[in-house]
Amino acid sequence: MWKIQIMSRQLMPTDSELEILQLLWKNGSCSVKQIHEAISERREVGYTTVLKLMQIMAEKGICSRKLVGKLHLYEAKLPEQGVKRNKLKNVIDQVFEGSAMNLVMQTLGHYEASKEEIKELKILLEQMEKKN
């Protein structure tokens, strides 16, 4: 059991790794240059920093790297929904003491939902009530 927990922690991406993963999920295979350019639109970051981070991610098994001609292309190996689910579980456990309801209440109390989002939430609640 202990070994499995250590393994999952190693594959849990850091915030910087998650930023790169989101770009890989969105765009598919990318070069370091493409990732660097995308991140640079939002904040200042060095090319070599992005390169080193992506190399580390490949070593950790978070993404894969393949040589296409002279270009190294990286691709996400972790499933998007699995990573998001684990990150969310960590936030709920660490910040909201394990209460998903507290997360929802905090979010709805500080976020102005659109009419469409409120409608979707009502449908979700109705579906949950039918299950119980």
User: What gap in Å lies between CA 4 and CA 6, rounded to an integer?
Assistant: 5
Between 48 and 8, the higher pLDDT residue: 48
Q: Which amino acid is at 129?
A: E
Quote the DSSP letter at residue 61.
T
Q: At residue 89, does pLDDT exceed 80?
A: yes
- pLDDT at residue number 78: 94
Query: What is the reported pTM?
Result: 0.77
Domain annotation for the chain: domains and CATH numbers: 2-76 (1.10.10.10), 80-131 (no CATH)
pLDDT band at 6 (very low <50, low <70, confident <90, very high): very low
C-alpha torsion angle, residues 51, 55, 57, 58 (rounded to 10): 140
Mean pLDDT over all residues of the chain? 89
Task: Provide the angle, in degrees to the nearest 10, between the axes of the packed helices 15-27 and 32-40.
Answer: 110
CA geometry: angle 90, 92, 96, nearest 5 deg: 130
- pLDDT at residue number 19: 97
- pLDDT at residue number 93: 94
- The model's pLDDT over 33-83, given as tens digits with 9 standing for 90+, comes to 999 999 999 999 999 999 999 999 999 999 999 999 999 999 999 999 999
